[in-house]
Structure 1
């Protein structure tokens, strides 16, 4: 298991996201990926922590050098909190030939259309709600209402999130599912990002152990229009298997679906 953790200046730690993977072969490097969108305050720290399953029969070690490991973060927008009010989109004023502009008007015309980029629409669902799906059954992933943050006017029915403003968005998914039923070398699952109910980003993994949760992490750039919906579906395979949400609470954070606007666009990715 791998955790991205946040540490407050006073030393208190909390999980941003948790992932879990099965190591199949000895002496073989294996990568684990986690990703999320979170609000960090000045003075807080982030770090990676690892936990080795008690059933492991051999010691693990972290590889060094090269590109086998990385921890990266980038500020997308300064904000007092994740749910602080976002800035509304302001259209640019018209410019007329020969028009005289004082300093205040010039500053306003330049900065107002860019203000949305400093405090853009965003949401994050940070805890999976219970669900159960038989193999071969597509199931929308539900999210706990008390673990949803949003700014900008996002609306959700518990599974899909409706976009409040058109633009180019960075979408981040990190979620686990648990396989129950017979154990064996069969059984895989998908965690797919849906745009208006259609698969826009497909991600598939294998899980060979019964009653064991494993994770998928993914990011994507998607142009979203006002009224579009973003959701996630789980689809498992294998005979006699059931795929369920892991036992979850807000401290473990087995799942996160989040999106934040990176830029406004007139009509699409090419706008």
Structure 2
């Protein structure tokens, strides 16, 4: 941008003729119009001059020009600058609806999206984590944390924080466990193979108050016989309490049926 003629008044912010080479157009306007060209109109203001598309796509250039304008506002070289949207924080709501702010907000959010996706696939984290409500809670916590927050160290995370998190989860699951003795529960087990081709069997305790994942076991190098499956399921039954288990639900394959018979026989021997 270049001024092609001096202003008509004594105030540096009065009407002047200027040209912006990106548009190859010349304008005759107040400094406030130039301000609008770079930063958009204020809230509720009418668009009176075309906005700079270069600044909409070049964040660094936008910040450079914005810094110069803020410096000019601090010394109040013109009446128009003293009333600009950069200097007057009371002239707009806390959450701005300025189109240029929205545009840059979209650009910044997109860059954060790229960083998140990069972190996911660089660490082998499945994209399904984005559907997990705890992931959103984590992001909200990071956004609300003190400025310059940095994640905990590797050693502290895998020791102290893991133990503390486990205690918190156990407290949240206590109301579910308390209903096992009064309402009873079902032991639900299923076998599957993960992406690493590991043969797993998991156990879930399900009752009227909700379902709770207990644990999973990797059967790599171990045959899934009826006896082995029964032994695995008995561990969870003992943890829940034999008298609290209403039923055990598994696959209907031969080895699971055999495991069911072993558990049923042991249950009759105990009671």
Larger Rg: 2
Normalising TM by the smaller chain, what interval?
under 0.3
Greater helix percent: which structure? 2
Question: Relative contact order, CA 8 A, sep 6+: which one is greater?
Answer: 1
The alignment's TM-score, normalised by the length of structure 1, stands at 0.18
The alignment's TM-score, normalised by the length of structure 2, stands at 0.18
Greater strand percent: which structure? 1
